Amino acid sequence: MIKKASAVWKGGLKDGIGSISTETGVLRDAPYGFKARFEGGKGTNPEELIGAAHAGCFSMALSKILGEAGLTAERIETHAEITLDKVGEGFGITASHLILKAKVPGASAEQFKELAEKAKAGCPVSKVLNARISLDATLEA
């Protein structure tokens, strides 16, 4: 399976502007640039997109692992916080922190944490990130 996305950049680093598109069309010429990445400006940025990908991938992986344990979540809500740090002469994504809240009838707190950790390790996006990945998991009653 191969999924495709593209980016176009015009101009210099700080004064330029780019657009990002996906083959599904969910993102079509979505703007991104220096201001959106480093100064809180309008548009998206690579770290935000990686966070969305990690949160979505992890949520699906957890759903699969819960199903294998005979459990079905009523709701899985995952937020990802991506850390971009100065590393040497440049920058690097150094961490992804997942914040999970889920309602899973029949799951004990211990079982839930164990399955969430398994999903964190097994999620394909977790595997591709060369960063520290942490997880705060809350089982809601």
pLDDT, tens digit, for every residue of 68-121?
A: 999 999 999 999 999 999 999 999 999 999 999 999 999 999 999 999 999 999
Report residue 83: phi and psi, to 5°.
Answer: -100, 125
Q: Is the pLDDT of residue 141 over 90?
A: no
Contact by Cβ (8 Å): 85, 67: no
How do the domains of the chain map onto residue ranges?
Answer: 5-38, 57-140
Q: What is the pLDDT of residue 38?
A: 87
CA proximity to 78, closest of 95, 94, 97:
97
Q: What is the pLDDT of residue 134?
A: 92
- How far the first Cα of the chain sits from its last, in Å, is 38
Residue 61 confidence class, pLDDT cut points 50, 70, 90: very high
Q: What is the pLDDT of residue 138?
A: 93
Q: Is the pLDDT of residue 31 over 90?
A: yes
pTM of the predicted model as reported, rounded to 2 decimal places: 0.90
CATH architecture of 57-140: 2-Layer Sandwich (3.30)
Chain centroid, CA 115 distance in Å: 18
Q: What is the pLDDT of residue 16?
A: 94
- Quick: pLDDT tens for 3-27: 999 999 999 999 999 999 999 999 9
